[in-house]
A and B are shown apart, each in its own frame.
Chain A
């Protein structure tokens, strides 16, 4: 039995036409051999042999192709649920400006498809946290990694991050299209012009693509800034009050874009003062005060009606 199985396997491996199928065919051959061995053992022991509750078929077996197809399909094409990858991992992260600790022992994780809504009073360290994760500030202590790369990770980390900041990060003399195309080019996007147009279209500002940024209103500049941040499809989006200046149409477009990015596996870290906006997209929520997380919850455990009161109690405790 072993010789036949080995011979069959070798023959199939060497056969050019079956190279792709050699391994599954070998599996079937091995299983058949195993069945036959167990059947022989059962006979010798005087027992009735059954396979999957049924007596195995005698005589001519099912032709190989359908058996192979069903077995191959079951072993190869059955989708396995993807394990969510860790995008951000922070352990006792701290950042100081001289003697002042802007971040103090911050620990959290963020996986693909998750959104952490971060709330906190002014000066809590929210922007500092975003800038550390974006690679703009070096951590003073602790360990933090983005997309599996420990910070400061260099270009590899920065390629995976998209940042929407307080300021627009745009060049006023250039057009909206040129600003987004410049960002796409820096990130190595294959067709930066088309990618820029797609990003501007998603934010519903494509009709003003060729207008200089300085001629756009604050809300329109914010849309261009968001387009700039998402044009390279980053794995991690850092959003510092992204709804600032947006009208209802812009806010809806932004929410749709962020939801689509999250569903496609991007991780979001959203800083906002608007609890409703933050909780709408969040899978987790946290409150930062004086550089420390004072509360962290999963979205499912949050009562959206009661959360504002909780926030006021925790965030306003020092004021």
Chain B
């Protein structure tokens, strides 16, 4: 396999964009066939060659594996509540260890999302993946469940952060979330919790300081979609700048060897609006406003107030029909 082929992008758009001199790309991209070989590259089903049809069809028709989560409610300093859902099990047929147990005390919120009291096993030698869904979404979303299950099958330990008010989490603060301020604080809180709970034994307080360097510290990666992608990007930028130290004024440069409690080791941002001003302007166009803006806004509005529209799903379905009809007929 020739590595540089990935940098020769088709039509100047499609492919992996990285400086040819980038050591990260040289190290990482060849190891991932999906990113380094055109024959493993993404190609859409023939009927979904239109971006609108693809988006709406995926949001309406996708059905993915059912999961069991253990929900941890983390209290934030300002009195808010953050629901962190830890993947316990998934409905994967043909795999002994992943079959969902018939737990009697499980509560179901969506048809394929159940909450159980059982905690997932903790393995300090396996990496941990934290997922952040798109605007107004949560751990019950089809693409979130699918990613969680796929990651778990590859050896990750998985948790899903529901931003405040999302994923059926209790609302205990007047503060919701944004794409940056506040949201990154909340994700850092979850990362810190995971580091303490999963990899806490490797903390420097351990008496076996001699072995400390050999000890696996634990990898935590964060992956976000759309608005969650913005949060991931902003979080990683802050980790290298304003939140590069513990913020503890008593800490001296020598203590910088101590790992950052909210350290994230790698990240991924999928379908992330890099330019939110351009994005918002785009959503003002009539079709976008009628279909996408309206359906996402409704899901958000119900989180703010007790106003619940029973017609939002139906509206979206109608829009979907009209849209497909329009695109196929004309």
Please determine whether chains A and B interact with each other in the same assembly. Answer: no
Residues of B within 8 A of A (CB): none
